[in-house]
């Protein structure tokens, strides 16, 4: 990993800040094709070409600026605005809604000719460069603020770009050995988001401070609007991925192992409930549209398939005992899923009403539905993080007190009292962190998916997945696939649904195919052995493997294609090549059927592998 330097100081901060928003800085270069740059003079040349001095053109420009945010502006409106004003002004034409802007410029349905579409794509690249300038400037400001407020940095603060080859994947500073990182390993594609994760090892509470600072500064600059809508940019803490969150603390409970096992079982139930939550949300949307009682049917089918799998792999006595315990556990998981769903949806609805009351009626009319949803989610995310921060600080104190008591040979009763508090702290942290991520825009709610996808596949690290994390990532990505496929199908058609959701299928495949011949990415080793946790999912989901292979092809040959340059070209090619009724049944109903089949059948291999290694004592020890 190579690094480039980005230096700020108190002296230069003002000049740097003045460039971050407003007119697009002429010294900044807007990327067109790979390796090609738009010369700084281009804007001046275009201004002369369009000659906005004429009264007729000025009138058209003023009308474009004052047009309703709910209307789709013409491309001429956008061009006039960019020539006379800047990118921030042009965003007003779309109601400060990046999704509307992207729909207008990155896709060809609004272009009259191929030449106009090519110009729209170039304009979209200009907006991407503008977004990068604005967001990166605020990122650097946030890192600098954190270095000064949390670690007492004075004078110059050196902030470096994190590079993977020639691609920037974030920023970091190193102050007296303490790293502060803003990780942004996203794609440079026209339709991609630009999400950031703050990482502060050993001081995870500072990540929460960074999220608060970034969002607060952004809302102040953009008049209360959410970065997730203005730029499709969301900021997160490392959450379940941090070493702090993943530390097991088993040694602290060495002489109170039953207390520790109780916590681990509760944590297992919660994490699996969070994993099923996207599937529950998918059914909720369909139930709102009057499409049956999907969640109830799903739960029943999952249990039936699990019992059938157990029948085929265990003798009659074993099957009866195992399924009886598993059935009870599944009831707990599904009940917790329902509780989380009702609670989070209720709080989101209440928060939206609170935001509505906060704004005068005239101002509120300017806030779109998507802005309202994003603002409500952001505010609830930050609210939950306040409690997460308190729990982090509290846990550090509890661990210090425990160590001090052990060194001074305090009576067991006092240690038990502290361990009881530690157990409560650990469980509340899991709940609050999980709930916070439900509110965050497009985040993974559970530890398995976050570790597997964000820490592993996106950041380039090799992460070893144990049995439980495999299930968490599988179920989370299956739920997201179902949700997002439906949304993209409604918004942009079959090709868009295929291309834009293939990433979820690729992530499912990455788990399912681990352990198969030729697939090198490791699982997690079984403690004390050379074996890996491999429940052989590729055997249980044999009828779905063809679809998962197609998902991989959609990513490599379509989404990341060098020859299919525009999003519309990728989508059209995918729709043409894959819209068939063959063995996979690659239609909307076919995709739904396969992913439902996967969701309802992954638990059999999971529980069988668990039982075969531990027997019936597994419900006291969850790995």
333-380 pLDDT, tens digit per residue, is: 999 999 999 999 999 999 999 988 887 655 555 567 778 888 899 999
Q: Are residues 114 and 167 in the same domain?
A: yes
**pLDDT band with cut points at 50, 70 and 90 for residue 304:** very high
pLDDT digits (tens, 9 = 90+) for 554-594: 999 999 998 998 999 999 999 988 866 444 557 888 899 99
Q: Which of 271, 265, 238, 186 is nearest to 448 (CA)?
A: 271
Domain that holds residue 147: 2-206
pLDDT digits (tens, 9 = 90+) for 69-102: 446 788 998 998 898 668 999 999 998 999 999 9
Reply yes or no on whether the pLDDT at 533 is more than 50: yes
Kindly state whether residue 126 falls inside one of the protein's structural domains. Answer: yes
- Res 349: pLDDT: 94
Reply yes or no on whether the pLDDT at 142 is more than 90: yes
- Res 531: pLDDT: 64
Q: Are residues 183 and 309 in the same domain?
A: no
Long-range contacts of the stretch 496-501 (C-beta < 8 A, 24+): 496/567, 496/571, 497/588, 497/591, 498/554, 498/558, 498/571, 498/574, 498/575, 498/578, 498/586, 499/554, 499/558, 499/559, 499/567, 499/570, 499/571, 499/574, 500/191
CA–CA separation, 187 and 560 (whole Å): 10
What is the token pair recorded at 256? 């109170």
Q: Are residues 151 and 248 in the same domain?
A: no
pLDDT digits (tens, 9 = 90+) for 398-429: 999 998 887 776 667 788 899 999 999 999 99
Q: Are residues 331 and 479 in the same domain?
A: yes
Q: In Å, how far are 227, 296, 320, 378, 553 from 215, measured between CA atoms?
A: 7, 39, 53, 8, 37
Provide the b/e sequence for 494-524 (b: ≥16 CB within 10 Å). bbbbbbbbbbbbbbbbbbbbbbeeeeebebb
- Res 250: pLDDT: 86
- Res 571: pLDDT: 94
Kindly state whether residue 220 falls inside one of the protein's structural domains. Answer: no
- Res 11: pLDDT: 39
Kindly state whether residue 227 falls inside one of the protein's structural domains. Answer: no
| Domain termination residue (choose one: 164, 191, 206) | 206
Kindly state whether residue 215 falls inside one of the protein's structural domains. Answer: no
Q: Are residues 314 and 400 in the same domain?
A: yes
Reply yes or no on whether the pLDDT at 472 is more than 70: yes
- Res 409: pLDDT: 66
**pLDDT band with cut points at 50, 70 and 90 for residue 619:** very low
| Domain termination residue (choose one: 206, 230, 250) | 206
Q: Which residue has the tokens 């002429």?
A: 26
Average pLDDT, stretch 15-32?
Answer: 33
Average pLDDT, stretch 284-306?
Answer: 80
List phi, psi (to 5°) of 183: -90, 130
Greater model confidence, 222 or 368: 222
Identify the three-state secondary structure at position 582.
Answer: coil
List phi, psi (to 5°) of 602: -75, -20
- Res 69: pLDDT: 41
pLDDT digits (tens, 9 = 90+) for 425-465: 999 999 999 999 999 988 999 999 999 998 888 877 778 78
Q: Helix 369-407 crosses helix 412-439 at what angle (to 10 degrees)?
A: 170
Reply yes or no on whether the pLDDT at 227 is more than 80: yes
pLDDT digits (tens, 9 = 90+) for 235-291: 999 999 998 999 988 888 877 888 888 999 999 999 999 999 999 999 987 665 544
User: What domain count does the chain have?
Assistant: 2
Reply yes or no on whether the pLDDT at 52 is more than 50: no
- Edge-first strand order for the sheet with 157-164 is 2-8, 157-164, 167-175, 178-183, 196-199, 235-237
**pLDDT band with cut points at 50, 70 and 90 for residue 59:** very low
Do 215 and 203 touch, CB atoms closer than 8 A?
Answer: no
Reply yes or no on whether the pLDDT at 47 is more than 50: no
Neighbour tally for 88: CB within 10 Å: 18
Q: Which of 595, 598, 583 is nearest to 497 (CA)?
A: 595
CA–CA separation, 339 and 344 (whole Å): 9
Kindly state whether residue 398 falls inside one of the protein's structural domains. Answer: yes
Neighbour tally for 319: CB within 10 Å: 17
What is the token pair recorded at 601? 């059948």
CA–CA separation, 185 and 179 (whole Å): 17
pLDDT winner (highest mean) among 47-61, 91-105, 281-295, 307-321: 91-105
Q: Are residues 411 and 325 in the same domain?
A: yes
- Res 412: pLDDT: 74
Q: Are residues 6 and 107 in the same domain?
A: yes
What is the token pair recorded at 598? 């996967």
Q: Are residues 202 and 292 in the same domain?
A: no
Reply yes or no on whether the pLDDT at 13 is more than 60: no
Provide the b/e sequence for 54-73 (b: ≥16 CB within 10 Å). eeebeebbeebbebebeeeb
Q: Are residues 150 and 279 in the same domain?
A: no
Q: What percent of the chain has pLDDT above 90?
A: 54
**pLDDT band with cut points at 50, 70 and 90 for residue 535:** confident
Q: Are residues 9 and 107 in the same domain?
A: yes
Name which of 131-135, 311-315, 557-561, 612-616 the model is least confident about.
612-616
Kindly state whether residue 217 falls inside one of the protein's structural domains. Answer: no
Reply yes or no on whether the pLDDT at 62 is more than 60: no
- Res 2: pLDDT: 42
Identify the three-state secondary structure at position 459.
Answer: coil
Kindly state whether residue 22 falls inside one of the protein's structural domains. Answer: yes
**pLDDT band with cut points at 50, 70 and 90 for residue 19:** very low
Do 439 and 350 touch, CB atoms closer than 8 A?
Answer: no
Q: Are residues 369 and 442 in the same domain?
A: yes
Kindly state whether residue 213 falls inside one of the protein's structural domains. Answer: no
Q: Do the bridges between strand 235-237 and strand 196-199 make them parallel or antiparallel, or are there none, so unpaired?
A: parallel
Confidence (pTM) = 0.84
Q: Are residues 276 and 178 in the same domain?
A: no
| Domain termination residue (choose one: 161, 188, 206) | 206
What is the pLDDT of the chain when averaged over all its residues? 82
Reply yes or no on whether the pLDDT at 548 is more than 70: yes
């Amino acid at each position: 990993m190579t690094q480039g330097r980005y230096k700020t100081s108190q002296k230069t901060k003002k000049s740097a800040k003045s460039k971050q928003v407003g007119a697009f800085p002429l010294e900044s270069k807007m990327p067109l094709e790979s390796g090609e740059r738009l010369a700084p003079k281009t804007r001046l040349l275009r201004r002369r070409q369009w000659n906005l001095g004429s009264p007729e053109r000025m009138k058209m420009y003023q009308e474009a600026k004052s047009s309703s945010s709910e209307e789709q502006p013409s491309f001429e409106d956008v061009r006039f605005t960019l020539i006379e004003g800047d990118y921030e002004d042009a965003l007003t034409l779309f109601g400060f809604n990046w999704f509307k802007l992207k729909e207008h410029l990155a896709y060809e349905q609004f272009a009259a000719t191929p030449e106009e579409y090519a110009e729209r794509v170039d304009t979209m690249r200009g907006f991407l460069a503008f977004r990068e300038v604005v967001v990166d400037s605020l990122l650097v400001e946030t890192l600098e603020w954190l270095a000064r407020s949390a670690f007492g940095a004075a004078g110059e603060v050196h902030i470096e770009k994190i590079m993977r080859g020639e691609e920037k994947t974030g920023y970091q500073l190193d102050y007296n050995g303490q790293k502060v990182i803003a990780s942004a390993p996203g794609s440079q594609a026209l339709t991609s988001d630009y999400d950031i994760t703050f990482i502060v090892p050993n001081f995870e509470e500072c990540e929460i401070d960074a999220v608060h600072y970034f969002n607060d500064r952004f809302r102040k600059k953009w008049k209360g609007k959410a970065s997730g809508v203005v730029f499709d940019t969301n900021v997160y803490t490392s959450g379940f991925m941090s070493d702090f969150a993943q530390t097991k603390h088993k040694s602290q409970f060495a002489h109170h192992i039953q207390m520790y096992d109780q916590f681990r079982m509760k944590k297992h139930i919660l994490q699996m409930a969070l994993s099923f939550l996207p599937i529950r949300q998918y059914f909720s949307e369909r139930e709102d549209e009057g499409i049956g009682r999907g969640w109830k049917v799903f739960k029943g089918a999952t249990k039936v398939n699990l019992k059938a799998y157990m029948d085929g792999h265990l003798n009659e006595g074993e099957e009866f005992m195992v399924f009886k315990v598993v059935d009870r556990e599944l009831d707990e998981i599904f009940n917790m899923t329902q509780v989380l769903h009702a609670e989070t949806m209720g709080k989101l609805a209440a928060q939206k009403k609170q935001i509505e009351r906060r704004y005068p009626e005239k101002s509120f009319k300017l806030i779109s539905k998507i802005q309202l949803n994003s603002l409500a989610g952001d505010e609830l995310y930050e609210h939950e993080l306040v409690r997460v921060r308190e729990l982090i600080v509290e846990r550090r104190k509890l661990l210090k007190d425990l160590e001090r008591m052990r060194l001074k040979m305090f009576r067991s009763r006092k240690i038990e009292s502290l361990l009881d508090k530690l157990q409560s702290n650990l469980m509340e942290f899991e709940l609050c962190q999980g709930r916070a991520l439900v509110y965050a825009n497009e985040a993974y709610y559970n530890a398995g998916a976050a570790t597997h996808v964000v820490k592993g596949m996106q950041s380039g690290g090799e992460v070893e997945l144990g049995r439980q994390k495999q299930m968490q990532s599988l179920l989370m990505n299956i739920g997201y696939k179902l949700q997002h496929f439906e949304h993209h199908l409604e918004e942009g058609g079959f090709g868009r649904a295929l291309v834009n959701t293939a990433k979820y299928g690729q992530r499912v495949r990455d788990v399912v195919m681990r352990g198969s011949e030729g697939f090198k990415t490791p699982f997690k080793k079984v403690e004390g052995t050379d074996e890996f946790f491999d429940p052989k999912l590729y055997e249980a989901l044999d009828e779905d493997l063809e679809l998962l292979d197609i998902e991989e092809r959609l990513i490599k040959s379509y989404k990341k294609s060098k020859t299919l340059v525009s999003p519309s070209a990728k989508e059209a090619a995918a729709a043409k090549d894959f819209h068939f009724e063959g063995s996979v049944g690659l239609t909307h109903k076919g995709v739904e059927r396969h992913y439902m089949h996967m969701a309802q059948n992954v638990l059999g291999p999971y529980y069988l592998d668990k039982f075969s290694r531990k027997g019936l004592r597994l419900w006291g020890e969850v790995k």
